Structure 1
Amino acid sequence: MQDTDVSLPRKSTEELGIAAKNVIGFLDGLKAHHIELHSFMLLRHGHVAVEGWWSPYAPELPHMLFSLSKSFTSTAIGMAVHEGLLTLDDPVISYFPDDLPAEVSSNLAAMQIRHLLMMGTGHDKDTMDALHEAEDGNWVRAFLNEPVDHEPGTHFLYNTGATYMLSAILQKATGQNLLEFLHGRLFEPLGIRNPTWETCPRGIHTGGFGLNVKTEDIAKFGQLYLQKGVWQGKRLIEESWIEEATEKQISNGDGGDSDWAQGYGYQFWRCRHGVYRGDGAFGQFCIVLPQYDAVIAMTAGTNDLQEVLNCVWEHLLDSFLPRPAEADEWSEDLKKRLHELQLEAPKFASESELEAQISGRVYALEDNETRIDRLRVEFEQDRALLTIDDFHGSHELSLGREHWLTSSSRLLNRQEGQFASSFTWKTPQTLLLTLRGIETPFCLTLEMQYEDENTLDFRQGINVSFSSSEGDSVRGIALLE
C-alpha cells in the first residue's frame, strides 16, 4: 500500500540558494521570444523552489506528454531487466514469431532491445506512419515489415515506432501493460495519481507518446532520476540503469549549439552543460541538472523547443548559488509574478449587433480539412454555447464573453478533456472563438466572418501542429429552421 506523501516538499528560493532575479529573467526571456509555457516547476535539493501555472492551466490538471512518455517506457524496461524478465541483448524478433515477414533480413535479425532504446534500430525513417496505416491494426507486424537499411547500433534515427516495440515487448515478457507494470513500481511510490496512456488498436500502450500526468508528476520523475533511483529511502530503479540510460549511447549529431546533437541514451537526450532530459513535442520537458542538484519540469504549447532550452541555459544556470541567500526585492517580485501568470482571453469588442440575427442558427460547412460539418453558436448575456458536429459526433463547449469558461469535451484526441474557451468580435462581422485544450498543448481558433446572417466564411487555426497551423477558408450556409 502506498504511503508516500503526494506532494513534493516546498522551500523558498532563498533557503534553496536560487537567485530570484534570474528566474524573473527566465520568465522575461520566454515572453520576449513569444514562447507559450503552461507550467513551470524548479526543484533544488529535493524541494520545490519555484512553481507557476499560466491560467487557465492549473496544477491539478494532467497534461499530454507526447515523447516525454518515452523516458517512462525506458524506465519500465530498466526495471524489467533488473527483475530478470528480459535482457537488452534479446533479439526483437524473438518476442513475435507469428508476426515476422516471410524473409527476415540480417539487420532485422540483429536488432536487439538495446537498439530500440538508443534509437539505433537501423531504419532510415520513423516507422510510425507505417504503424498508423496498418489496416489490421497490428502495429508490431507493421514495424517488423519495414526495411532495416543499416546495421543496428550504427545509425541514429528518432523512431517513435521503436518505443512502441518496447511497450509491446514488455507486455509480452511480463503479461502486464505499461500502466499495470509501472503502477506499483513507479507511480504508486511517487504518488502519481490516475496516469493515463493511449493504446494502439490492439490495446498495447503506445509507449513513445500518449502518457498524461500532472506537472508535479514530471518533477517527481526527474527528482527520482536525480536521486539515482532512490525515493524516500527505498530503491525503485537500479543506479547502474540510470547511469546507463542517461549517458550517451549513440551519436546523434556533431554537438555545437543544438541540444538535439549532444548524444542520445536510452530514451533520454544528452544536453549541453552536463545536463540530460526527457522531452516531448511542443515543449513538454523533464530536465535533470546533476551538478546543481536541480530538476526543471515544464509543459507548454510551442514549436521552438530549442529556444526554451536556450532560456534555461542563459538565465537559470547562473541562478544556482553555493549557499542560501538573503531575501530581497526580487524575491517578492518573483512571488507576485508567479501568482499573476496567465494567458488572457482575446479581447477586441465584446458585442456585435449581428448576434441577435445569428444566435442559434445552424451553419453547414463545405467539405474541409477539419472535417467539421456543422456549427452553431447560441449567445447569452455573458457567455455562449458552441455546438460542433464533425465526423466523430457532436461536441458542446461553453465560451465566456472575453473571459475563459471551462467545460469538458471530446473535441481533441477523442478523449474527454477540459477546455477553457472564450469569444470576442474582431470586427462587427467577424467572430473569433478561442478553444484551449487545457490538458494539452493545443489552442484552437475558429474565425467566422459573416457576409450576412445566412452566409459565413470559416477558418480554423491551431497554435502548434505537426503540419500546417491554419486551414483554408471554407463557406458556411445557414440551414432553414
Structure 2
Amino acid sequence: MKLSLLLLALILGFSNLKAQTYFPPLVGNTWSTTDPATLGWCPDSITKMYDWLELSDSKAFIVLKDGKIVLEKYFGTFTIDSFYVWNSAGKTLTAYAVGIAQHEGFLDINDPTIDYLGTGWTSLTPTQEAAITIKHQLTMTTGLDDGVSDIHCTDPSCLIYKAAPGTRWAYHNGPYTLLDSVIESATGLTLNAWVNQKISSKIGMVGTYLQLGYNNVFASKARGMARFGLLLSQDGYWNANPVLPDLTYLNAMRNSSQSLNNSYGYLTWLNGKASFMLPQSQFVFSGELCPNAPTDMYAAEGKNGQIINVVPSQGLVVVRMGANMGTSLVGTQYNDTIWQYMNRLSCTLGTTENSIEEIQLSPNPSTGTFTISDLTGIEKMEVSNQLGQIVTFQQVEKEITLNTAQAGVYFLTIHTKNNTKTFRVMRY
C-alpha cells in the first residue's frame, strides 16, 4: 500500500512538473511571453547579441523558457510569417518520425533496410546490402562511402561500399534521405502526410517538405522550429497529449548512438561528451561539441546555421534561422558563439566592448590557416594546445597559420585593452 501511494505521489509530481511548461495554442500567433528582466537579462547585452546575429545574416532568433517566449527577433524582410528551410536540422525531425513509426508497429529500427527499400537500393553485394539496418541510417554508420562526388545522391550507383556497417561514422546525406522512403514504404503514407498527421498537426507546426535535388528539405516558420524544439524537450508529449510516448527510443535518440562519434545520437547532435566528429572528416576531436553551451544540450543543426537547441536542465529552447554561414554542413562553431552571447546576458556580468564580441574566425575547422574578421583593438594573440602549451603561428594581415602538422584542437586567445576572447580552433 505504501509503495502504491509513493508511486502515485511520484506520478502526480511528474504531472505537476510538466504542467509548469506552457504550450501555445495549435492555431494562430498567440504565444505567452516572459520578460527577459525576470531572468536577470540586460537590454544592452540582448542588443549586442541581436547586432551580432544581424551581422551574421540571421533571419530569425527565438528563445523559449519553460515554453514561453523570452526573446524573439526577426531581421531584414523576414517576419513572423516567413518560411525558411531547416536544411539538416530536419534530420532530427526525421528521427522523430521514424521513432513514431516504430512505436506504432510499422517498423523496427533493427530491421534490414532491404525490408522496406527492396534489394538493389545500393551497388553493394546482396550480403553487404542486407547487413545495413535502419539504425545504421539513423546513426550515420551505414559504411557507405561518403567520398563520392555527390554525398546527396540516392541512386544505387552513388551508394558504394566503404566499410562494414557500424564500424565507420560518416555524415552522409544519401543514406539518410532514403529514410524518407523507408517511412513511406512502412506506413503507406507520403512523408509529408506522415509528419503532418503524427507531428505537425499535434503541435501546431505549419510546414512542408520540399524536394531540392535528391534532398527532401523541411520548411516552416521560425515558430514552427520553436514548437518542435518544445516538443523535443517534453519527453514525447505535447500538453499531456502523446506524440511519441516511447522514452526508451527518445533516450537513445539524445544520447551517444555508437562509440565512433560520441556526440551523435539518432540524427541529433549532443553536447557534453568527451569527443566529437564533424562532417566531411574522419578526425576525432577531443572535448565538447560546444564548450560554451550547457553540457546537457542536444541540438538539431543544419547548413547555414539552422539550429534548434534544447537544454533540459534550464527549460530552454534556442532557435536560429539564417544564411551565409560558409560551406560547413552544420553550424557547430556558430552555435558555440551563440552561447558565448547567451552566457553574457546576465546583468551581473556586464557587457564587453563591441570589437572583441564581434571578432569571428573562419573557416573553422580548417587545414591550418584561419582568417580573423577584424584586427581593430587587438593587442596580442596566442595559440595553445590542449595541454596549455604555446604553439607558434605565422600571421599575414588577418590570416594566421599554425606551425604544426598535427591535427587536433587548439585555442586562439585574443587580447584587447580590456577583454580577452578565446576561440577553439580545430585543425584536421
Q: Same fold by TM (over 0.5)?
A: yes
How far apart in 1 are the matches of 2:123 and 2:306?
40
Letter of the structure 1 residue corresponding to residue 114 of structure 2: I
How far apart in 2 are the matches of 1:306 and 1:248?
17
1:153–1:21: structure 2 CA closer, same or farther, 3 Å change rule? Answer: farther
How far apart in 2 are the matches of 1:183 and 1:244?
24
1:130–1:288: structure 2 CA closer, same or farther, 3 Å change rule? Answer: closer
Q: How does 1:424-443 map to 2 (within 5 A)?
A: none
Gaps of 5+ in 1: 133-138, 254-261, 331-481
Q: How does 1:128-277 map to 2 (within 5 A)?
A: 129=150, 132=153, 139=154, 141-142=156-157, 146-193=159-206, 195-199=207-211, 209-238=216-245, 239-251=247-259, 263-271=263-271, 272=290, 273-277=295-299
| Contact 1:16–1:44 (CA under 8 A) maintained in structure 2 | no
1:366 corresponds in structure 2 to: none
How far apart in 2 are the matches of 1:284 and 1:215?
10
Q: How does 1:64-75 map to 2 (within 5 A)?
A: 64-75=85-96
1:116 corresponds in structure 2 to: 137
RMSD between superposed Cα atoms in Å: 2.9
Query: Deviation digits for residues 113-168 of structure 1, max 9, x if unmatched?
Result: 00000111112316682764xxxxxx45445xx22221211211001112211101
Deviation at 1:59, TM superposition (A): 1.1
> Which range moves more in the overlay, 104-113 or 34-43?
104-113
> Which range moves more in the overlay, 14-23 or 53-62?
14-23
1:14 corresponds in structure 2 to: 37
Q: How does 1:344-363 map to 2 (within 5 A)?
A: none
Deviation at 1:312, TM superposition (A): 2.2
Deviation at 1:30, TM superposition (A): 4.2
1:313–1:140: structure 2 CA closer, same or farther, 3 Å change rule? Answer: same
Deviation at 1:265, TM superposition (A): 0.8
Deviation at 1:92, TM superposition (A): 1.0
Normalising to structure 2: TM-score of the pair? Answer: 0.63
2:319 corresponds in structure 1 to: 297
Deviation at 1:97, TM superposition (A): 2.8
1:361 corresponds in structure 2 to: none
How far apart in 1 are the matches of 2:104 and 2:149?
30
Deviation at 1:263, TM superposition (A): 1.3
How far apart in 2 are the matches of 1:171 and 1:158?
23
Q: How does 1:374-453 map to 2 (within 5 A)?
A: none
Letter of the structure 2 residue corresponding to residue 13 of structure 1: P
Deviation at 1:23, TM superposition (A): 2.9
1:311–1:29: structure 2 CA closer, same or farther, 3 Å change rule? Answer: farther
Letter of the structure 2 residue corresponding to residue 270 of structure 1: L
Letter of the structure 2 residue corresponding to residue 281 of structure 1: K
| Contact 2:257–2:265 (CA under 8 A) maintained in structure 1 | yes
| Contact 1:35–1:308 (CA under 8 A) maintained in structure 2 | no
1:35–1:231: structure 2 CA closer, same or farther, 3 Å change rule? Answer: same
2:373 corresponds in structure 1 to: none
1:393 corresponds in structure 2 to: none
How far apart in 1 are the matches of 2:151 and 2:139?
20
1:50–1:130: structure 2 CA closer, same or farther, 3 Å change rule? Answer: closer
| Contact 2:205–2:228 (CA under 8 A) maintained in structure 1 | no
> Which range moves more in the overlay, 15-24 or 177-186?
15-24
1:86–1:306: structure 2 CA closer, same or farther, 3 Å change rule? Answer: closer
1:210–1:73: structure 2 CA closer, same or farther, 3 Å change rule? Answer: same
- 1:23 paired residue among 36, 42, 46: 46
- Are 1:284 and 2:284 counterparts? no
Structure 1 or 2, whichever has the larger Rg, is: 1
Letter of the structure 1 residue corresponding to residue 211 of structure 2: T
Deviation at 1:282, TM superposition (A): 0.7
Query: Deviation digits for residues 252-292 of structure 1, max 9, x if unmatched?
Result: 65xxxxxxxx6111111113422111111111111111121
Aligned length: 299
How far apart in 1 are the matches of 2:119 and 2:162?
23
1:177–1:128: structure 2 CA closer, same or farther, 3 Å change rule? Answer: farther
Normalising to structure 1: TM-score of the pair? Answer: 0.57
Letter of the structure 2 residue corresponding to residue 266 of structure 1: Y
Between the aligned residues of both structures, percent identity stands at 22
Query: Deviation digits for residues 58-81 of structure 1, max 9, x if unmatched?
Result: 110110111112111111100001
1:4 corresponds in structure 2 to: 26
1:10–1:131: structure 2 CA closer, same or farther, 3 Å change rule? Answer: closer
SS of the residue 1:99 aligns to: coil
- 1:42 paired residue among 40, 63, 88: 63
SS of the residue 2:63 aligns to: strand
- 1:313 paired residue among 312, 336, 339: 339
Query: Deviation digits for residues 377-435 of structure 1, max 9, x if unmatched?
Result: xxxxxxxxxxxxxxxxxxxxxxxxxxxxxxxxxxxxxxxxxxxxxxxxxxxxxxxxxxx
| Contact 1:6–1:190 (CA under 8 A) maintained in structure 2 | no
Letter of the structure 2 residue corresponding to residue 264 of structure 1: Y
Deviation at 1:182, TM superposition (A): 1.3
Letter of the structure 2 residue corresponding to residue 312 of structure 1: I
> Which range moves more in the overlay, 233-242 or 112-121?
233-242
Deviation at 1:246, TM superposition (A): 1.3
SS of the residue 1:129 aligns to: coil
Deviation at 1:41, TM superposition (A): 0.3
How far apart in 2 are the matches of 1:101 and 1:308?
35
| Contact 2:305–2:335 (CA under 8 A) maintained in structure 1 | no
1:128–1:263: structure 2 CA closer, same or farther, 3 Å change rule? Answer: farther
How far apart in 1 are the matches of 2:39 and 2:250?
25
Deviation at 1:56, TM superposition (A): 0.9
Letter of the structure 1 residue corresponding to residue 210 of structure 2: E
Deviation at 1:190, TM superposition (A): 1.3
| Contact 2:307–2:335 (CA under 8 A) maintained in structure 1 | no
